[in-house]
Amino acid sequence: MKRKPLVGISMKLYKNVSNDMIDYATHLKESFQSPETVDVFLLPSMGTLHPVADALKNSSILYGSQNMAHIKNGALTGEFSIESLLELGGTLVELGHYERRTFLHETHDLINQKVRLALSHGVSPIICIGEPEGLDEEAATAHLMDQIESAFNGCEPSSLTSAILAYEPYWAIGQAEAASPLHVHRMHNLIRGILTDLYNKETAQGIRMIYGGSVSKDTAGDILNHEDVDGVFVGRFGHDVNQFMEIVRLVKDSKPN
């Protein structure tokens, strides 16, 4: 099955001033010319989502939030609602990032509630999965299977192909270099196998899978060189919009239609 390549960036909590992000989004919108062949998304720092949404109106750049609450509305101080995301025209939400699982203690069950809320509202969850350092392949596979199975628990199998899996090994986030292409290829292949075992071949082949963790314009090319890698999820090495655009071009060129 043909899957559309996908490349995106999360600004985490790095660029928090509206004007910086409006400049970034505007530059990105002007530079990106190939929406038919590759999807590009931007997840700005949450406080700048509104101005970024305004800047990206009528463009082909997708955007969304880096998190959301597990309920639509109610007594949940300081959280961000899917209702606001939808009002802003966001179509994506990042869930289960390592930093939220680890520092904010998000549980499998909480992530699952968010995944179900997103899917039932037509928002594509970008579900981050990854293993901690030091696991052998068998233990890493069991860890990933647990994350996938719990995230999709109770979801209609037919809805799963609008989700995106981001494979982000914990030990490769925030480093000088990404995980090796060999490792990424092996794990993406294993994850595709896990999806086939848990659901079916069609679902497994339909879910897009991107690699994240210290990807740069220098490492993206080799990482992308495998059929189970549908794109990359960029962090710090995309803060310069020209560098991010170089990565977008690499994705486009390495995944011809």
Q: Least distance (Å) from ligand PGA to the CB of residue 196?
A: 25
User: Which of 9/115 has CB closer to ligand PGA?
Assistant: 9
- Residue 58 has phi, psi (to 5 degrees) of 60, 25
Residues 6+ apart with CB under 8 A from 28: 40, 42, 61, 241, 244, 245
Q: Least distance (Å) from ligand PGA to the CB of residue 180?
A: 15
Q: Least distance (Å) from ligand PGA to the CB of residue 229?
A: 15
User: Which of 36/133 has CB closer to ligand PGA?
Assistant: 133
Q: Least distance (Å) from ligand PGA to the CB of residue 105?
A: 17
Q: Least distance (Å) from ligand PGA to the CB of residue 203?
A: 24
Q: For ligand PGA, which stretch binds (CB under 6 A), given 134-142, 148-156, 183-191, 210-218? A: 210-218
The residues with which 9 forms a beta bridge, in sequence order, are: 42, 234
Q: By C-alpha distance, which of 126, 105, 89, 94 is closest to 208? A: 126
User: Would you count residue 233 as binding ligand PGA (CB under 6 A)?
Assistant: yes
Query: Binding string, 236-255, against ligand PGA, x = CB under 6 A?
Result: xx------------------
Check 97, 131, 185, 188 and give the catalytic one. 97
C-alpha span between 46 and 49 (Å, rounded): 5
User: Would you count residue 10 as binding ligand PGA (CB under 6 A)?
Assistant: yes
Q: By C-alpha distance, which of 35, 44, 38 is closest to 64? A: 44
Check 94, 106, 131, 168 and give the catalytic one. 168
* Burial state string for 177-203 with b = 16 or more CB within 10 A and e = fewer than 16: ebbebebbbbbbebbbebbeeebeeeb
Can 168 be counted among the known catalytic residues?
yes
User: What single string gives the DSSP state of each residue in 44-113?
Assistant: --GGGHHHHHHHHTTSS-EEEES---SSSSSS-TT---HHHHHHTT--EEEE--HHHHHTS---HHHHHH
The residues with which 125 forms a beta bridge, in sequence order, are: 93
Task: Supply the Cα-derived Rg of the chain in whole angstroms.
Answer: 17
User: Would you count residue 173 as binding ligand PGA (CB under 6 A)?
Assistant: yes
User: Which of 10/112 has CB closer to ligand PGA?
Assistant: 10
User: Would you count residue 235 as binding ligand PGA (CB under 6 A)?
Assistant: yes
Q: For ligand PGA, which stretch binds (CB under 6 A), given 75-83, 116-124, 202-210, 232-240? A: 232-240
Catalytic residue numbers, as ranges: 97, 168
Positions in the binding site for ligand PGA (CB under 6 A): 10, 168, 173-174, 212-215, 233, 235-237
